[in-house]
C-alpha cells in the first residue's frame, strides 16, 4: 500500500521491539510508542508508521504498536502498519517502499537512534530524531551496556549493507 505523505504534516516511523510471551508489548516497545505519541501531539496531522514483523510471540510488533497508538487516541487512519521488517535494515527498506523518499522522524530507544538515522539518511531519506523515551531501554546497567555494545558492530555493518544496496540500485 502506498501512502500519500502530503496528507500529513509529519511522518513518524517507530522502530519495533519485542512482544512478550503473553502477547503484550515489552517495556521497550511501550516506551517507544509513548515517546512517538507524545511527539505526535505537536502536529495537527501526524502519520505513524510502526514497523516490525511477527516475532516469536503474539502479533506483529507493528500491530501491537498500532493498538497502543489507537489506545492513545490516534485515529486508525493515521496509522500505517509496516509488518514485514524483521530487523532495522529491512524496516528502513520497507519504509522506502511505503513512502518513497519522504522526510521522516525516527522514533526508537536512545541506544538505537543513531543507527536508524544513519540508515534512513544513507537510503536518501531526510530523517530527524524524535525525542527518545526518557527512560533507559533496560533497568540493569549490564543490560544497558549490552544493548549499547551491540550497536557498535551493527551500525557499520548495516551502513555498509545500505551503501551496497544503494550502489547496486536495490534501494
pLDDT in tens, the chain (171 residues): 567 888 999 999 999 999 999 999 999 999 999 999 999 999 999 999 999 999 999 999 999 999 999 999 999 999 999 999 999 999 999 999 999 999 999 999 999 999 999 999 999 999 999 999 988 777 788 888 888 899 999 999 999 999 999 999 998
Backbone angles phi, psi at 46, to 5 degrees: -80, 150
Q: Which residues pair with 11 in a beta bridge?
A: 47
Residue 2: per-residue pLDDT = 64
Q: Structural domain of residue 45, as residue ranges? A: 5-167
CB neighbours of residue 79 within 10 Å = 21
Q: Output the pTM of the full model.
A: 0.94
Residue closest to 129 by CA, chosen among 137, 120, 138: 120
Assign residue 23 the CATH number of its domain.
Answer: 3.40.50.620
Q: How far apart are CA 117 and CA 120, in angstroms?
A: 5
- Number of structural domains (the chain) is 1
| Grid coordinates of 71 | 489506545
Amino acid at each position: 500500500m502506498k501512502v500519500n505523505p502530503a496528507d500529513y504534516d509529519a511522518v513518524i516511523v517507530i522502530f519495533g521491539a519485542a512482544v512478550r510471551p503473553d502477547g503484550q508489548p515489552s517495556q521497550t516497545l511501550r516506551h517507544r510508542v509513548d515517546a512517538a505519541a507524545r511527539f505526535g501531539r505537536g502536529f495537527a496531522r501526524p502519520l505513524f508508521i510502526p514497523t516490525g514483523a511477527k516475532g516469536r510471540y503474539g502479533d506483529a510488533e507493528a500491530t501491537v504498536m498500532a493498538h497502543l497508538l489507537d489506545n492513545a487516541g490516534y485515529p486508525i487512519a493515521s496509522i500505517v502498519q509496516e509488518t514485514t521488517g524483521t530487523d532495522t535494515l529491512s524496516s528502513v527498506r520497507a519504509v522506502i517502499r511505503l513512502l518513497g523518499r519522504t522526510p521522516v522522524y525516527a522514533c526508537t530507544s536512545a541506544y538505537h537512534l543513531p543507527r536508524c538515522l544513519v540508515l534512513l539518511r544513507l537510503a536518501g531519506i531526510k530523517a530527524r530524531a524524535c525525542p527518545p523515551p526518557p527512560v533507559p531501554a533496560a533497568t540493569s546497567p549490564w543490560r544497558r551496556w549490552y544493548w549499547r555494545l551491540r550497536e557498535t558492530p551493527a551500525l557499520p555493518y548495516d551502513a555498509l549493507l545500505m551503501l551496497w544496496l544503494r550502489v547496486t540500485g536495490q534501494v
